[in-house]
Amino acid sequence: MSKMSSRDMSAETPVKGEEGIAETMAALELEGVARSFSSGDEELQILKNVQFTLSKGEIVSLVAPSGTGKSTLLHLAGLLEKPNAGDVLIKGQKTSRLNEAGRTALRRDEIGFVYQFHHLLGEFSAVENVMLPQLAAGIAPRQARERAEDLLKRFGLGHRLEALPGRMSGGEQQRTAIARALANKPSVLLADEPTGNLDTKTADLVFVELMRVVREEGVAALIATHNETLAASMDRTVTLTDGQLVAC
């Protein structure tokens, strides 16, 4: 992959309707993103002026000490929260001017989010959990089931399609959660310590599968992890220092 940053490319004025523009656009950009929280009289400035570009298909690890703002950053990038300043761009689209419905639609169609804990819906089977985001996006049930089964099989869960989350192992649950995050073919996958709840051996296995499927799908990914070996297997690593995102 070219090392030219997609910011260079996206800086060019896009011509509406021109073929290939979406191909050259970065999947995710953070422009001067800031976020603070008030704690008593104090204002905690967690993110100050975050600049970041995630190119299409690129996999980046985010490794930083506890409390530095990794989850905060991922929630902003995933349009789950709003920055105090700056803008989050998804495929070149500025999100600050979108209303709630617009943010929700963009999140559903373009962003997959994986949490440390799986958050699967307990009353639905594995395959149904992976179908649900697709049904919400208006995909026909038959097509949604096909996609869900295909994804779960690629995560080695072909024999667990009808299992309820409560009957699955931690590794199986997390594989299902990753499959669900990929269900709507997002442009961006955000993962907040996706294997942090698993024992080391299971975490490594799940991680290898996550990387393989993410590459197969061509999804750009930003993955927070405390595991430096896992981080080293990604395209590059960034860290948070003094509220800024910097290269490692």
Residues 128-167 touching Mg ion, rule: CB under 5 A, are: none
218 binds ligand ATP (CB under 6 A): no
Shorter beta-carbon distance to Mg ion: residue 68 or 184:
68
Shorter beta-carbon distance to Mg ion: residue 106 or 178:
178
Kindly state the tokens that stand for 231. 């981080």
The one of Mg ion, ligand ATP, none whose footprint includes residue 120, by CB under 5 to 8 A per kind, is none
Residue 86 beta carbon to ligand ATP: minimum distance, rounded to whole angstroms:
16
Residues 67-126 touching ligand ATP, rule: CB under 6 A, are: 67-72
63, 112 in Cβ contact below 8 A? no
Rounded CA separation 246/181 (Å): 26
Q: For 40-132, where are the E strands, in sequence order?
A: 42-54, 59-62, 85-90, 93-94, 111-114
Burial of 81 (0-12, 13-18, 19+ CB in 10 A): middle
Question: What are the respective helix, strand and coil percentages of the chain, to the nearest 5?
Answer: 35, 25, 40
Residue 105 beta carbon to ligand ATP: minimum distance, rounded to whole angstroms:
25
Shorter beta-carbon distance to ligand ATP: residue 157 or 221:
221
37 binds ligand ATP (CB under 6 A): yes
Residues 69-98 touching Mg ion, rule: CB under 5 A, are: 70-71
Residue 193 beta carbon to Mg ion: minimum distance, rounded to whole angstroms:
6
Rounded CA separation 48/8 (Å): 23
Residue 67 beta carbon to Mg ion: minimum distance, rounded to whole angstroms:
8
- By beta-carbon distance, which residue lies closest to Mg ion? 71
Shorter beta-carbon distance to Mg ion: residue 70 or 145:
70
To the nearest 10°, the Cα dihedral for 126, 131, 133, 134? Answer: 160
Residues 48-67 touching ligand ATP, rule: CB under 6 A, are: 64, 66-67
- What residue type is assigned to position 191 of the chain? A
Residue of 67, 165, 70, 176 lying closest to 114 (CA atoms): 176
Residue 205 beta carbon to Mg ion: minimum distance, rounded to whole angstroms:
23
Three-state SS at 234:
coil
Residue 72 beta carbon to ligand ATP: minimum distance, rounded to whole angstroms:
3
Binding residues for Mg ion, rule: CB under 5 A, are 70-71
Binding residues for ligand ATP, rule: CB under 6 A, are 37, 46, 64, 66-72
